[in-house]
Amino acid sequence: IPAKTIIFFDEAYFDFAKDYPDFPDTLKLTNRRNIITTRSFSKIHSLAGLRIGYGVAGEEIVDYLNRVREPFNVNSLAQVAALAALDDPQHVKRTLEMVKKGKRYLYKQLNKLQLKYTPSATNFILIDLNRNARPVIEGLLKNGLIVRSMTAWGLKNFVRVTVGTMKQNTKFINLLKMYLNRR
């Protein structure tokens, strides 16, 4: 890779995947001249609505980024929330445990429904509904559940569901069964 090429690593899901042996911690690489690593408070810290995260890079890249950065690009409430999140490792621990249990439950239920899915290192699962997903997505939405359509990626039979609380996961499975039984 040419030295003038910037390599950008998006580690939004780092905390979910860091225990996987083949998942790199690219912060260790940011001392190199052409590497930027970003992480988010949206996922593991549950601050998605605040749109806050951070980037780590070498001094030269940071200098260039600061030249084009808008002033006041992160509001003070988001900054305070992010600092508080960093001081709450128990929230991270609880979230990781909830996601781990939730994935086990969802995998078991999806197997019972004979639906194929892609096991995930993150807090979401890609599921093949084996039919056009649009009616199921719309039905779930009418019941207050939002799942991501994968049509934009050419996967019209797939949805991506975020692992939630056990109550949310159970509601999802019950509604999924109902909509899959409708033809």
Residue ranges of domains in the chain: 7-87, 90-180
Residues 15-36 have pLDDT tens digits of 999 888 888 889 888 777 899 9
Per-residue pLDDT reduced to its tens digit, 123-140: 999 999 999 999 999 999
State residue 24's pLDDT score.
84
Q: Which two tokens stand for residue 96?
A: 């990781």
- Residue predicted with more confidence, 170 or 70: 170
Q: Please determine, for residue 73, whether its predicted confidence score (pLDDT) is greater than 90.
A: no
- Whole-model pTM: value is 0.86
φ/ψ of residue 117, rounded to 5: -150, 165
Q: Where are the alpha helices (DSSP H) in 13-156?
A: 14-17, 59-68, 76-86, 89-112, 134-142
- Domain 90-180 in this protein, CATH class: alpha beta
Q: Phi and psi at residue 55, in whole multiples of 5°?
A: -125, 150
pLDDT for the residue numbered 126: 99
The third-level CATH classification (topology) of the domain covering 7-87 is Aspartate Aminotransferase; domain 2 (3.40.640)
